Amino acid sequence: MILAVDIGGSSTKMGLVEDGRVISRARISTTGHADEHVFVDAIAGTARLMTDGSGAGLDSIGIGAPNANQLSGVIEMAPNLPWKHDVPLAKMVSERLGAPATLGNDANAAALGELRYGAGRGYQDLLVVTLGTGVGSGLIVNGHLVLGSAGNAGELGHTTLVMDGRRCTCGRAGCLEAYVSIRGIRETYADLGGDADVLRTEGVKAIADAARGGEKAARFAFQWTADWLAVALANAVAMTGPGRVVLFGGITRSGDLLMEPLLARFDKVLLNIHKGRVDVVLSALEEDDAALLGAAALTTFRS
Amino acid sequence: MILAVDIGGSSTKMGLVEDGRVISRARISTTGHADEHVFVDAIAGTARLMTDGSGAGLDSIGIGAPNANQLSGVIEMAPNLPWKHDVPLAKMVSERLGAPATLGNDANAAALGELRYGAGRGYQDLLVVTLGTGVGSGLIVNGHLVLGSAGNAGELGHTTLVMDGRRCTCGRAGCLEAYVSIRGIRETYADLGGDADVLRTEGVKAIADAARGGEKAARFAFQWTADWLAVALANAVAMTGPGRVVLFGGITRSGDLLMEPLLARFDKVLLNIHKGRVDVVLSALEEDDAALLGAAALTTFRS
């Protein structure tokens, strides 16, 4: 039995995975803990509750998190998590629960989940892009996850899209994430003179609703977001040549509002030699399970 | 004995390679032939002259060329070569000379050359960028060359650097190649009000000389080129996480004029988690031999 943990900017999902299925689920808050030790206590306590109070029966633990370095087991200076310093989370959780733990980038976990169970099945070269609080990516080349020399490859969200552009949480300017994350879309909508009432709600659902209702600022916000994302995806394809790009994460719930302009623009900006050789699709996995299955897949993965 | 062929925009270098050394060299023009068949005749004729008139003794042929697809053996719509259609060069040369031929992207050949003989020795994750008439790149991940699902990965030169930017030979706008190739640097220099006499000479050597003499437009042209290249390299590093980036090709002859501002800017634009984990260096190989050794290395390479 594998304990799968998916750490997000606001909440952390947990699940027990057996034979490639999620058999039980829990959720704790990522924020609001005094420090990372208290947070790990909460993970361990919840895991014990999920396993009849003992924590026994756990073979291994897979943890997906933003800015996680799979080679070192450390979460490194994550701009979207409460801890701005390096946190050796794999070791901390493993010690609390007495089972080996593998920490991996949440986007790498998603890529492994899609490769094994989802829209990436059968592909040797695959790019999975997560669109949510942050923007991440996991890259499969020749059937293997690309970790990079220091374990931190796949940072599509922090490639520069616009030189001297918008400030990003990473401290730099013009990153893709500053444009196509939840915050990015909200900023675009605000820049376009969007409705203040819509912006009072969190996330991008209200903007999507406004767009479906025909509001111009909201429609343009999705159009612009799609244009930016299309260029970034075409760039990643030019470098790495995947046969498929899978989009994953909260923003993809916007569906055709994002996908229609995205596919049109992607086809336009793609280099000639890649046309017809790569497609862009939405994740085919149940949203909650995908991240957990990906985290579970981390435990057995070798690059 | 391996026949190594390096096809460039203006000239094609040929060499006989034995035990990792280039033992004889020749050069023919890439342009000015009636069609690709006449060009291949010229390659075959020269190869026969290099091998005592017979072509005997050739074990294999390695050919590096822009826009070459290693999976198919075809040069695909190369904007910087005389043939705008697809040319199955591997098959054509192999039939003429009676030895198996492997065609590979010139930048992939350069990457293999650096990995085996040059500044990339000992690296498992390496990015080699060629700066000349065009801008190409070869990517090594986990010790293997990345070809991509359709054999055309590594097109760093055709990632979009500036949305709706300069026209590129590929028909799109804002590609890195439109800014940091020979043509790109010349255009930047012209935009900066550079000297018409300097621009009457080919290449970038005269601009480099003017910069060394203190001419402001020329100095700015290199500074801007370095700034653009730094952002593109940082983006490629963010996605693929190499331990080293090796620069290769004619433009690198500009030396510190390019490298000093490049390294300063690269350090600034690199994502925090990559700082100190990747360096950018110039090729350590003899310029003429590097491309030929890379082409030769193609013959034995499997991804």
Q: Which two tokens stand for residue A148?
A: 């990079």
Are A216 and A166 within one domain? yes
Torsion of CA A12, A18, A24, A28, to 10 degrees: -10
Q: Are residues B220 and B124 in the same domain?
A: yes
Q: Domain for residue A116, yes or no?
A: no
Retrieve residue B90's tokens: 């591997």
What residue numbers bound the domain in which A59 lies? 2-108
| Shortest Cα–Cα distance, B54 to chain A (Å) | 37
What's the CA gap between B162 and B114, in Å, rounded? Answer: 30
pLDDT the model gives residue A55 = 64
Render B198-237 in DSSP notation, one character per residue.
Answer: HHHSSSSHHHHHHHHTT-HHHHHHHHHHHHHHHHHHHHHH
Q: Say what the pLDDT of residue B78 is.
A: 82
Same domain, B160 and B75: no
Digit-coded pLDDT (tens) for A255-302: 999 999 999 999 999 998 899 999 999 998 887 788 899 999 898 765
The ipTM, to two decimals, is 0.89
From A108, A131, A147, give the residue that closes a domain.
A108
Chain A closest CA to B153's CA: distance in Å? 4
Model pLDDT, residue B39: 96
Q: Tell me if B289 is assigned to some domain.
A: no
Whether residue A159 lies inside any domain: the answer is yes
For residue B50, being part of any structural domain is answered with: yes
Local confidence band at B80 (pLDDT 50, 70, 90 cut-offs): confident
Q: Which residue has the tokens 């043509």?
A: B183
Mean pLDDT value of segment B130-154: 92
- pLDDT exceeds 70 at position A190: yes
Separation between Cα atoms, residue B295 and residue B113, nearest integer Å? 8
Residues of chain B neighbouring A238 (CB-CB closer than 8 A): 153, 155-156, 158-159
Q: What is the mean pLDDT of residues A178-201?
A: 97
Mean pLDDT, to the nearest integer, of B71-75?
91
Q: Which two tokens stand for residue A112?
A: 């492994």
Residue A230: predicted pLDDT: 98
Q: A164 and chain B: CB distance < 8 Å anywhere? A: no
How does DSSP assign A134-174, residue by residue? SEEEEEEETTEE---TTS----GGGSBSSTT-SB-TTS-BS
Same-domain pairing of A21 and A102: yes
User: What 3-state class would DSSP assign to B295?
Assistant: helix
Residue A242 and residue B148: Cβ atoms within 8 Å? yes
Residues A163, A90 share a domain: no
Taking CB atoms and an 8 Å cutoff, what residues of chain B touch A139? 239-240
Chain centre to alpha carbon of residue B194: 27
Judge if B71 and B176 occupy the same domain: no
Q: How far is CA A74 from CA A11, A33, A78, A98, A105, in A?
A: 19, 19, 10, 18, 10
Pairing of strands B279-282, B244-248: parallel
Mean pLDDT of A157-167: 96
For A65, phi then psi, to 5°, come to -155, 150
- Cβ–Cβ < 8 Å for A293, A117: yes
Residue B195 has pLDDT above 50, yes or no: yes
Give domain status of residue B222, yes or no. yes
Mean pLDDT of the A194-200 span: 96
Q: Is B80 part of a structural domain of the chain?
A: yes
Whether A171 shows a pLDDT value over 60: the answer reads yes
* CB within 8 Å: A240 and B271: no
pLDDT(B154) > 90: yes
Give the pLDDT confidence of B168-185 residue by residue, as tens digits.
Answer: 999 999 999 999 999 999
Distance, CA of A8 to CA of A134 (rounded, Å): 9
Q: Are A85 and A187 contained in the same domain?
A: no
End-of-domain residue from the set A54, A87, A108: A108
On the CB side of B283, CA atoms within 13 Å amount to 29
Do residue A238 and residue B156 have CB atoms under 8 angstroms apart?
yes
**CB-based contacts of B97, cutoff 8 Å, min separation 6:** B3, B44, B47, B48, B55, B58, B61
Searching chain A, which residue's CA lies closest to the CA of residue B269?
A: A172
Shared domain check, A175 and A151: yes
Q: Residues B228-239: what's their mean pLDDT?
A: 97
- B67 in any annotated domain: yes
Nearest to A258 by CA among A157, A131, A156: A131
- Residues B137, B269: one domain? yes
Lowest pLDDT segment from A53-62, B94-103, B107-116, B244-253: A53-62
Say yes or no: A126 and A255 in one domain: yes
Quickly state the pLDDT bin for A303 (edges 50, 70, 90): very low
Q: What is the pLDDT of residue A173?
A: 95
Q: Say if residue B303's pLDDT is above 50.
A: no
The two structure tokens encoding residue B78: 């190369």
User: Which two tokens mark A76?
Assistant: 């490194």
The verdict on B92 and B206 lying in the same domain is no
pTM of the model: 0.89
Q: Residue A84: its pLDDT value, please?
A: 82
Buried b (16+ CB within 10 A) or exposed e, B267-287: eebbbebbeebbebeebebee
Q: Which residues contact B203 (CB under 8 A, 6 or more apart)?
A: B182, B250
Look up the CATH number of the domain holding residue A144: 3.30.420.40
Does the structure show a pLDDT above 90 at A221? yes
Chain A residues touching residue B151 (CB < 8 angstroms): 241
Q: Is residue A303 part of a domain?
A: no
Best of B159, B227, B231, B278 to disrupt the A interface by mutation (most A CBs within 10 Å)? B159
Q: What is the mean pLDDT of chain B?
A: 93
Partner residue facing A152 (CB), from B154, B235, B274: B274
Alpha helices (H) in chain B, listed in sequence order? 36-50, 89-97, 106-117, 177-180, 182-191, 196-200, 205-212, 216-240, 256-269, 287-298
Average pLDDT over residues A125-139: 94
Q: Are A8 and A287 in contact (CB under 8 A)?
A: no
Q: Are residues B23 and B163 in the same domain?
A: no
Count of structural domains, chain B:
2
Q: B241, A273: Cβ pair inside 8 Å?
A: no
Please report which confidence band the pLDDT of residue A57 belongs to, taking 50, 70 and 90 as the band edges.
confident
Size of chain B in residues: 303
If contacts are CB pairs under 8 Å, which of residues 24-83 in chain A contact chain B? 67, 69, 76-77
The whole-number average pLDDT for the span A238-254 is 95
Give B207-222 pLDDT, tens digit per residue. Answer: 999 999 999 999 999 9
Q: Of B29 and B290, which is predicted with more confidence?
A: B29
**Tens of pLDDT along B2-61?**
999 999 888 999 999 998 889 999 999 999 999 999 999 999 999 999 987 766 789 999
Whose structure tokens read 């700034």? B227
